[in-house]
Amino acid sequence: MALQLLTIRLLSVVSMFLIWAVISWFLPPMLMPNPWVVAHRLWQLCLNGQFWFHAYGTVSRVVIGFALAFIVSIGLGVAMGLRRGVAVMFEAYVLVGLTVPGLCWSVLAIMWFGITEFAPVFAIFVVVLPMLTLNMWQGTKSLDKDLMEMSRTFNFSRRSVLFDVILPQLLPFCLAGARLGFALGWKVVVLSELFGLTSGVGYMINRAFSNYSMADVLAWTLGFTLIMFVLEYVIFLPVERSLVRWRTAAAT
């Protein structure tokens, strides 16, 4: 079964490149270079170290901004789900955060904090936080009421209720929110780097755009996408399988 799923995933990825190659046959190279040209350009960027230098800057910004948003969202989302007053107090903040586009936050962060490392981290934090908070809020509202009542009956401490009853039930929501939030963080950091930074994948895409080099634009985009694939299939999926293994065992 695992081999079959792996084969399907590989065929899906190969089909993307085939579609890309077919489209490139009907367009001039300056508009749509074929995958081999772009892959060769990405290989050159990797060999001369440019790709690794700028990719490291982008990844580090995403990780810091996402980690801060994730930690805050757990506490805020659980509090909103358990306390009606907290939900009423912060509901408007979550709604505004979800409504304001990431582009606006990226521009505001650059204007407020200038060309600093804090600007993209702040933009990622304020864009990802509302989405993660909403996810945790909805997850907390769907907690098993029987388990919550049992914990009160047996006089569980607040710490035991949080770590032994609430968080295990919220784990699937945490994992789903983490994957969505991390992907959203990628988009925001690229916007921030496009507008006001001097390093990162977004900055290099902007440079390639200024030089009207479609091969470079697609090379940096392809490298960016490959990093996401590695994070998804090497980190997120194995961690998810390991942490929710008990659900599979319970189902059987």
Closest CA to 212 of 87, 76, 82, 29: 29
**How far is residue 245's CA from residue 248's CA, in Å, rounded to a whole number?**
5
What stretches of the chain show up as alpha helix (H) in DSSP?
2-25, 35-47, 50-82, 84-99, 102-113, 118-141, 145-153, 158-160, 167-196, 201-210, 214-230, 237-243, 245-251
125-170 pLDDT per residue, tens: 999 999 999 988 888 887 777 777 777 777 777 777 777 777 777 7
Check whether 54 has a pLDDT greater than 90.
yes
pTM of this structure: 0.82
CATH classification code of 63-244: 1.10.3720.10
Q: Residue 157 class from Cβ within 10 Å (0-12 exposed, 13-18 middle, 19+ buried)? A: exposed
Q: Apex CA 57: angle with CA 240 and CA 117, to 5°?
A: 110
Which tokens sit at 100? Answer: 């304001």
Q: What is the pLDDT of residues 234-243, one digit of tens each?
A: 877 777 777 6
* pLDDT (0 to 100) of residue 246: 54
Query: What is the average pLDDT value for the chain, to the nearest integer?
Result: 85
CA 120 to chain CA mean position, Å: 14
Structure token digits, residue 5:
């799923």
Helix H or strand E encompassing 200: none
Rg (CA), the chain: 22
pLDDT at 169: 78
Average pLDDT on 21-46 reads 91
Whether 55 and 190 have beta carbons less than 8 Å apart is answered as no
Per-residue pLDDT at 2: 62
- Listing DSSP states for 74-134 in one string gives HHHHHHHHH-HHHHHHHHHHHHHHHHS-HHHHHHHHHHHH-SSSHHHHHHHHHHHHHHHHH
Please name the residue that has the structure tokens 């089909």.
15
Burial 112-130 (b: 16+ CB within 10 A, else e): ebeeeeebbbbbbbbbbbb
Q: At what angle do helices 50-82 and 35-47 cross, to 10 degrees?
A: 100
Better-predicted residue by pLDDT, 111 or 176: 111
Q: Cβ contacts of residue 57 below 8 Å, gap of 6+?
A: 199, 200
CB 53 within 8 A of CB 110: no
Dihedral in degrees, nearest 10, Cα atoms 217, 218, 221, 226: -150
Question: Of the ranges 53-62, 136-145, 197-206, which one carries the lowest mean pLDDT score?
Answer: 136-145
